[in-house]
Every structure is written in structure tokens, then in C-alpha cells.
Amino acid sequence: MEPVSSLVKTHLPNYLANLPIPDSIGGWFKLSVKDWISLIPFFSVVGGISYMTYRTIKPKHVINLSIEKEEAKVVHVANIEDLGDSTAYCRCWRSSKFPLCDGSHGKHNKETGDNVGPVVIKKK
């Protein structure tokens, strides 16, 4: 425990006290290259902690926006005998004919920069 105590009570306060953080906004423009380099570890740690905090509290993205939202899990079963020579199934969750693909992924891809396409099942 001695090393942790020493780090928290002595080394960390000394490190922070010796950082070249200016008292005014104009002081940031007067920092030398050496001063900026000495600030890199500090801002890297602050940025990393900020990013990890953001990742834990940001809202989660939902893929399925509207299809059978009342169900706990959306499942569709297709019989092989009912398939045509080629059948395309939606993977973007935007199709109005879900689970079959209607080409909605094209608009979705343009809007989001995604590259999703259908699953195509062909009979041999």
C-alpha cells in the first residue's frame, strides 16, 4: 500500500503542480513546444477517461426501429419448399416487406454510410 499512498499523496500532486497550465486563455498561445509535449500525457489520460465515461453513459443504438417491436425477439421461419429460385432476405431492418428485401438498404446505406445488403438464397 505504501507505493499507492506515495503515488497519490506525493508524486501525482507534484506532477500536476509542475504542469505548464497557463492562468489565462492567451497563455495557451505562449506555450513552447516543450510545454505542449509535457501536457500530452495529462490530456491523454483526461481524454481517455472522458471517452470511457461517454461510452458507458451514451444511449445504445437500436438496429430494428419499427418491425414487431412488441415482441421480445423477432423470428421468421421460411420453408425451403416455398422459396423461389432466388430469394433475398433483409438485413438492414428497413424493408416494408420484412423479412424479404425490398431494396430499402440502398437508401439506408446512402444515409448512414453503411454497406449492408440482403442475404440471397438460391436453389441449385
Q: Catalytic positions, please?
A: 73
Dump strand ranges (E) for 2-118. 86-89
Question: Do the beta carbons of residue 25 and residue 36 sit within 8 Å?
Answer: no
Residue 123: which of 72, 82, 86 has the closest Cα?
A: 86
76: nearest Cα among 62, 90, 86 = 90
Angle at 48 between CA 17 and CA 40, to 5 degrees: 45
Instruction: State phi, psi for 50 to the nearest 5 degrees.
Output: -65, -45
